[in-house]
Amino acid sequence: MELFPAEEYDRLISGLRKLFPAQRYGRDEIDRLGTNVPNLFSGGWSSIGLLRREKSWLGTLQTRTIPDLPEEVSTIEVGTHKILPSAVVVAFDVRLTASATKRLKALHDRKYLPDVRFHRWTPWREHGWGRSESPPEWAMQDAILDWEEELRSRVERILRPYLAGFFSRSEGSRGRFPVIDLFTVIGLPSCEIGETRLQAASRWMESLALYERPFLVGTFVGKDLMFSWSKDSDERPAIPYRFIEIYSELPAGENDEAHRHFRLQESLDAALPYVCLLEAISRIRRQLETLRVRVYSSLAENSSFGRGLRKEMKLNDTIQKEVMFLSRFALELEDARPWLAHEIQLLRELTQPKARLEDKSFDLAEALPNALKFHLDRVRKHLDLVAKMFRDYVSRRSVAAMYRLQIQVLVLSIIATLATILGVLANWSELKGLFHFIAGH
């Protein structure tokens, strides 16, 4: 996913047009999107076109061939979701080939050894060396996650020159676009309770980094579908958001297969606004963590009121932009809450496993809005505090600088006046003769 705020709508339309040139006759979805996207009250979804690695004349969508796509990618469907009046999300539905599953299985079947890390090495001293060892299962998981991240990065490098929005400019690892991975696990026993049917295959799914024991706080399970929250780690690869289908066997009939894909697409569309906004707030939080240290350091310094003012005014502009970005989304999110609440009801069947039988059931339709509200309120509160403190500080420095400039102008005026008086005194005899000459006439 890539996010485009309202001030970048022109860049969004031009990027889509570079990716899918205009048709010879009639208007296409990009033309319609360009007309409707500035509207304050319109929303919705548009299917823009299809990217293929190989040429194909089948299909009704506008198609473009990109041979540089990774061999594991068959098609990329490009769609737009206007989730807020000032926020349009471009969603890339990347469909993989059987070679991706083959590569995943090959990484899983490989033999792995534990990672050993030496923290210090002075063998001539007592207790002069230390080491830590991680289990081989971690090495397997890291290899799989690294390959998945590398595959996503290769896709991003192709898409980013056309559509670079908010996430492309934010700091991050190799992969900058927020991701919801989709997995299908076949062969699990049939059972009404999703958590129970996972117990038999928990070790196998854990080795593929699809499952962790005990259940994470961010894991929600339904009858045939599971959702897991993203997980960041300083030392290990990050795990993105995921939907995991769990079946004893895949639906055989065409109607069942169509219903499966339709339900999965609806689940993705319901989670997309929350995941995208959560990631946007997360990027702002990282920016805030850097800005607040710079602000507090500036406030703590006893620097003179003339030094570094331009640099601090630029820092204040950056903070005010972040405040505007977050405040605008908070206002529009409050207005859109009824619509988003209606759309997310589909995910109410995915519930978090209870630690005790008497615990209250907690579903994904509650978890996503609550998480978004919590992170938005927390980041906004700290950002408002930093913005107010630094704005007042810059205002005081600006006033002080103006007073200094006024004093300097006054001093220069006095010096200029004295120089003029001295010049007059130095030429007084000539000026006196001139006055006598004028008076005589």
Q: Report whether 144 contacts 235 (CB < 8 A).
A: no
Is residue 285's pLDDT more than 50?
A: yes
CA 421 to each of CA 413, 418, 426, 438: distance values in angstroms, whole numbers, following the listed order: 12, 5, 9, 22
Q: Give the pLDDT of residue 241.
A: 92
Structure tokens at 252: 């055989």
Over the stretch 375-410, which tens digit does the pLDDT of each residue have?
A: 999 888 888 887 777 777 666 666 766 777 788 888
Helix (H) or strand (E) holding 4: strand 2-5
Q: Give the pLDDT of residue 319.
A: 80
Over the stretch 24-48, which tens digit does the pLDDT of each residue have?
A: 676 788 888 888 877 777 777 888 9
User: Phi/psi at 371 (nearest 5 deg)?
Assistant: -65, -40
Q: Give the pLDDT of residue 291.
A: 77
CA 262 to each of CA 119, 265, 433: distance values in angstroms, whole numbers, following the listed order: 52, 5, 105
Transcribe 374-399 into DSSP letters.
HHHHHHHHHHHHHHHHHHHHHHHHHH
Classify domain 269-398 by CATH architecture: Up-down Bundle (1.20)
| Helices vs. strands in the chain: H and E counts, helices first | 11, 13
- pTM for this entry: 0.81
397 vs 273: CA distance, rounded Å:
41
Pairing of strands 225-228, 219-221: antiparallel
CA 353 to each of CA 200, 229, 369: distance values in angstroms, whole numbers, following the listed order: 16, 14, 19
Label residue 363 by pLDDT band (50, 70, 90). confident
Over the stretch 73-85, which tens digit does the pLDDT of each residue have?
A: 999 999 999 988 8
Task: Give the other-Cβ count within 10 Å of 227's Cβ.
Answer: 22
